Amino acid sequence: MKHEEREENAEIEVRRARRQDLAAIAGVVIKSSRARLAADEARARDWLFGKGLWVATDDSRVVGVAAWQVENLVSITDLFYVAPARYRKVAGARLLQAIEAEAGVLMCEANAMVLPAWTPKTVRAFLQGQGYEPRPFAELHRIWREVLGEWIQGDEELMVKRLRERMVMAPI
């Protein structure tokens, strides 16, 4: 089987990250971001203990990572990297499915991807294929802007996928 075909049909497992994954997580982030995002084991440890951190593995090798958390019924994914890029279609989709499933259990209205401005067009196109739409911060619902305001520190951009048709207007 050709190398590229193997990735297309890869047996990707998605699971919660573990301490022993920290070096591999940092490696995936550095490779996928082309070293634009500084990552080392200490930073990966902060992600592990501060957020929901998922990894995608192929034969026990970490090929993708995503970090998210929930605030006021909005899921915020601020870390989403897959490397090598040929894994994006399978590993990226499975990471998003895991986050969206957990966010659904928590009754989240949407998952907002907070992306660095330098995020490649190929990643944006992939996210659009997964149902995410670019959304200007100013056009978001007031409550979502309140939640996401602390996540937008500079030139980050948002891609949003609605997970519920209706917003929750009363306590659950």
* Ramachandran bin of 23, using left for φ above 0, alpha for ψ from -120 to 50, beta for the remaining angles: alpha
Q: What pLDDT is attached to residue 155?
A: 86
Give residue 1's pLDDT: 40
pLDDT of 2: 44
Whole-number pLDDT of residue 3:
46
Of 148, 89, 94, the closest CA to residue 123 belongs to: 89
pLDDT of residue 56: 98
Give every CB contact of residue 67 below 8 A, 6+ residues apart in sequence: 47, 51, 52, 53, 54, 77, 78, 79, 80
CATH code for the structural domain at 12-162 = 3.40.630.30
The answer to whether 80 touches 92, Cβ cutoff 8 Å, is: yes
Q: Give pLDDT, residue 171.
A: 47
Q: What is the pLDDT of residue 160?
A: 97
Residue ranges for the chain with pLDDT beneath 50? 1-7, 170-172
Q: What is the pLDDT of residue 83?
A: 96
Q: What is the pTM of this model?
A: 0.89
